[in-house]
Copies of this chain bind each other. A is one copy, B any other.
Amino acid sequence: MVDEIDRTLISLLQDDATRSYATLGQAVGLSSGAAHERVRKLRERGVIRRTTIEVDQAALGRTVTAYVLVDSDTWMGDSGAALAAIPDIEEAHVIAGQASVLLKVRTSATRELQDVLRRVFEVDGVSGTRSAVVLETFFERTLT
Q: What total of chain A residues lie within 8 Å of the partner, measured CB to CB?
A: 63
Answer whether residue A27 sits at the interface, using C-beta atoms and an 8 A cutoff: no
Contacts of A134 in B (CB 8 A): 93-95, 102
Contact indicator A54/B50 (Cβ below 8 Å): yes
Q: Which residues on B sit within 8 Å (CB–CB) of A50?
A: 15-17, 53-54
B49 touches A52 (CB 8 A): no
Which of B10, B17, B102 is the one whose CB lies under 8 Å from A17? Answer: B17
Q: Chain B residues near A16: list those with CB within 8 A.
A: 50-52
A143 touches B106 (CB 8 A): yes
**Scoring A residues 38 to 59 as 1 if CB is less than 8 Å from chain B, else 0, what string do you get?**
0000000111111111111101
Q: Which residue from B57, B59, B95, B133 sits with its C-beta under 8 Å from A133?
A: B95
- Indicate whether A56 sits within 8 Å of B52 (C-beta atoms), given known contacts A91-B139, A139-B80: no
Q: Report the bound CA distance from A135 to B143 in whole Å.
A: 20
A80 and B141 in contact, given A93-B65, A98-B132 (Cβ under 8 angstroms): no
Given contacts A45-B59, A97-B131, 14 further A-B contacts (CB under 8 A): A2-B59, A13-B53, A14-B55, A51-B51, A52-B142, A67-B102, A84-B139, A92-B137, A92-B139, A93-B136, A95-B134, A97-B132, A102-B134, A106-B143
